[in-house]
């Protein structure tokens, strides 16, 4: 084989190596992007269900049968999205989410207007803690 044959062979090997490295790096980047997008979606869905739950609770009196199905539905949504968060994020975020979920249950089970108000305030504070934990987990300011 002459010099041009070796040069062609070296170019082909270099091209193949570049293709492999580029494919691996691009694949990893896409995986990280997918995980970040899925995590963002899970955070938004969890917090959205929490807000809806609180808004429904504010719209009726404790024990109101017209509000109870909506509260149960949004609570179930929160549980479902918390399961997704368990798969995608840190223990700190999951712990904050569990605290919020328990407080939303207290909102739902409050028997007096004053008790519901206190539970709603606690849930609001816990919601801010979930946001702070989520931002920290995602390296956001």
Average pLDDT rounded to a whole number, residues 46-68: 93
Residue 101 lies in a domain: yes
Burial of 17 (0-12, 13-18, 19+ CB in 10 A): exposed
- pLDDT tens digits, residue range 89-141? 999 999 999 999 999 999 999 999 999 999 999 999 999 999 999 999 888 88
pTM: 0.77
- pLDDT tens digits, residue range 60-93? 889 889 999 999 999 999 999 999 999 999 999 9
Contacts of 1 (CB under 8 A, 6+ apart): 9
Residue 99 host element (H or E)? helix 91-109
Structural domain count, the chain: 1
Residue 55 lies in a domain: yes
Residue 90 lies in a domain: yes
Contacts of 70 (CB under 8 A, 6+ apart): 52, 56
pLDDT of 17: 61
Scanning the structure block, which residue is given the tokens 């989520």? 134
Domain range for 57 is: 29-137
pLDDT of 140: 83
CA distance 93 to 130: 6
């Amino acid at each position: 084989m002459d010099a041009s044959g070796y040069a062609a062979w070296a170019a082909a090997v270099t091209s193949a190596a570049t293709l492999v490295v580029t494919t691996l790096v691009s694949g990893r980047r896409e995986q990280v992007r997918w995980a970040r997008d899925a995590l963002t979606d899970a955070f938004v869905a969890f917090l959205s269900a929490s807000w809806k739950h609180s808004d429904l609770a504010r719209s009726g009196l404790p024990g109101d049968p017209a509000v109870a199905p909506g509260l149960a539905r949004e609570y179930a949504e929160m549980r479902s999205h918390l399961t997704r968060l368990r798969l995608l994020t840190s223990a700190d975020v999951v712990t904050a989410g569990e605290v919020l979920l328990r407080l939303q249950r207290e909102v739902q089970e409050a028997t007096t207007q004053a008790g519901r108000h206190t539970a709603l305030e606690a849930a609001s504070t816990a919601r801010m803690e979930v946001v702070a934990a989520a931002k920290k987990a995602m390296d956001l300011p």
